Each structure stands twice: as C-alpha cells, then as structure tokens.
Amino acid sequence: MIFVTVGHQMPFDRMVKAVDDWAALNQRSDVFAQIGSTKYRPEHIQWAHTIDPNEFQERIAQADAVVAHAGTGTILTALEQQTPILVMPRRAALLETRNDHQVATAQRFLEMGRVAVAMDETELPAMLEKLSQLSASDTISSGASPELIQAISDFIHHEL
C-alpha cells in the first residue's frame, strides 16, 4: 500500500493530481491519500481530506512506501516507522507554502541519504515507478547513531 500525505496547512494540488494520474495510468488500486484542503478531487485513488493522528501513524506503519510533502514531521515519522519515503517539496512561488523551507528540507534529507526526492510533478511519476526499490534500511530508529540524530536535530533547528 502507498500512503500519500500532504499535511494540513495549504493545498498541494500538484502532488495529489500527479499521484492520481500515475495511479490511473498504472492501474494502482493500493493508494490512499490524505489530501488536506486541496481543490482537486482524486478520481483513481482512495482519499480523505484529513485523518486523525492515530490513523496517520497506522497508515505510515502499514505502508510499503510514503509519498509526502517535505514536512519534517512527516519525514521523521516515516523514518522512525522504518517506512521508505518519497518527498516532493511545496513551492512558495506557487503559493503552496510561505517560503521554500521544504526545498531545503528535501535537499538536506536527500544529501543524508534518508529520502527519495521528486522536486516537482514532472519528476514525480518516474520516482513513483521506483517506489518498490526504496529501502527502509536507511531509516532512523531508536537504534540510530547519536551523530545522525544530532545532525537531523541541528538541521531542523538551524534551517527551519
């Protein structure tokens, strides 16, 4: 199962539509998306505007992969649950967020080898094709090295 989440701040129609189109093209019936306040209504995937925190945790734990905005909370939750994650950052110029902090977050976690990244909706379909190749071995768990935990903490507190 693929769990897609956009968080609950601003709409992220680009990502929701790209995943919905990909699911239709590939006849995928195993995609569930939390779409937030988006105006786009998916036609080929299961979805809900919001889900409660417990369901969010359960869906990430049960997913084969997570596709998400580049929010640090979502990234860290997926890494803690040892679920591979593909992120697509929101863009301020497209009024999807207040600033481009998600671009910085995606780039930093990519550099650390912790997430896969599609920088926009044109890259997303090719990255979705590679979801089965993502590994949960590069995740964070309670056994993560103190250096990794500190690097992530420093990044979050410095950049955001």
Q: In 3D, which of 78, 75, 86, 67 has the Cα closest to residue 4? A: 67
Q: Specify the pLDDT at position 11.
A: 87
Cα separation of 147 and 97, whole Å? 30
Q: Specify the pLDDT at position 137.
A: 45
Residues with Cβ within 8 Å of 37's Cβ and at least 6 positions away in sequence, in order, are 8, 10, 11, 49
State which H helix or E strand residue 87 sits in.
strand 85-87
pLDDT tens track for 118-150: 999 999 999 999 888 776 544 454 555 556 555
Q: In 3D, which of 145, 67, 135, 137 has the Cα closest to residue 106? A: 67
Q: Which two tokens stand for residue 137?
A: 């071995």
Cα separation of 80 and 142, whole Å? 7
In order of their start, the domains of the chain are: 2-159 (3.40.50.2000)
Q: Specify the pLDDT at position 148.
A: 58
pTM of the model: 0.84
**Segments of the chain with pLDDT less than 50:** 137-139, 141, 159-160
Mean pLDDT of the chain: 85
